[in-house]
Structure 1
């Protein structure tokens, strides 16, 4: 399904939905960041997605990372809570969702990188390569917060 992110855009459509989502900031032993290239907008991102009924937020983070990347993770802490009403996501089915995402720090514990229906590329990225990648500003903000290791961020 197509996806368009509006970030601080006065012409953005009005949100009609709010759903809990998660994202994960996963670094390997050498400090490289686990990233995907999304199928819905072709941008690079950290793994993440919507929480499902019957699971905790941490379980959602583990499931989404495994589904999108093939990497098994262990959640270790919260990086931030992202609920900016000036970030809305328009989907091809008419849903326009206000951002509501919890970003976790996690460590890899197994698996092998592989793509999925949600990712056309999975890779470990050095921090000095990040500026060369097409990353949405809302995801870049989470990455910056993960790299600086400050106390949990919230909007």
Structure 2
């Protein structure tokens, strides 16, 4: 029997003065601290853009506004061969920062350069670095590339 499971996730790239907004988070089952973009799963009846905004706010305290689609990425972790993550990564700008509690497992929001992230050897997955590299190469697609049919609730 095939136990493969797809997971739809979103992430945001927010850049300021050559540094990127990341979260330092604890991987709960291994107690290892890693860096990731503000990211997470899309919830029921939520658009991709709504999910990206919500995850950024919940994980960093920053209200963000997505401006472009950076790309669509897939990743199957070596330790979870039956799980594939489909990551929709958005380029976003920070609008406002709110002092608020962050999601469980999030230690703090941090601003790091790509070099600092790579040197730390603590990227949660290869996608964290790949997304920043693609951003720095100027890759982007208009948000209109996404069509989300309205749901009836």
TM tier, smaller: 0.7 to 0.9
Matched, 1:23 2:11: yes
CA contact (8 A) 2:118 2:129 kept: no
Give the 3 Å change call, closer, same or farther, for CA 74–151 of structure 1 in structure 2: closer
CA contact (8 A) 1:88 1:97 kept: yes
Give the number of equivalent residue pairs: 133
Give the 3 Å change call, closer, same or farther, for CA 127–115 of structure 1 in structure 2: same
Partner of 1:48: 39
RMSD: 2.4
**Farther-moved stretch of structure 1 (124-133 vs 96-105):** 124-133
User: Offset at 1:96?
Assistant: 4.3
Scaled by the length of structure 2, the TM-score of the pair is 0.76
Q: Say which SS state the counterpart of residue 66 (structure 1) adopts.
A: helix
User: Offset at 1:115?
Assistant: 4.0
| 1:12-67 Cα deviation digits (max 9, x unpaired) | xx862112110110112x23210111221421111100001111100000000000
CA contact (8 A) 1:20 1:101 kept: yes
Partner of 2:146: none
Partner of 1:10: none
Partner of 1:100: 86
User: Offset at 1:121?
Assistant: 2.2
**Gaps (5+ residues) in structure 1?**
1-13
Partner of 1:141: 130
Matched, 1:35 2:16: no
- Once residues 76 and 96 of structure 1 are traced to their aligned partners in structure 2, the CA distance between those partners, rounded to angstroms, is 33
- Once residues 55 and 100 of structure 1 are traced to their aligned partners in structure 2, the CA distance between those partners, rounded to angstroms, is 16
Partner of 2:151: none
Partner of 1:11: none
- Once residues 73 and 24 of structure 2 are traced to their aligned partners in structure 1, the CA distance between those partners, rounded to angstroms, is 21
- Once residues 53 and 90 of structure 1 are traced to their aligned partners in structure 2, the CA distance between those partners, rounded to angstroms, is 27
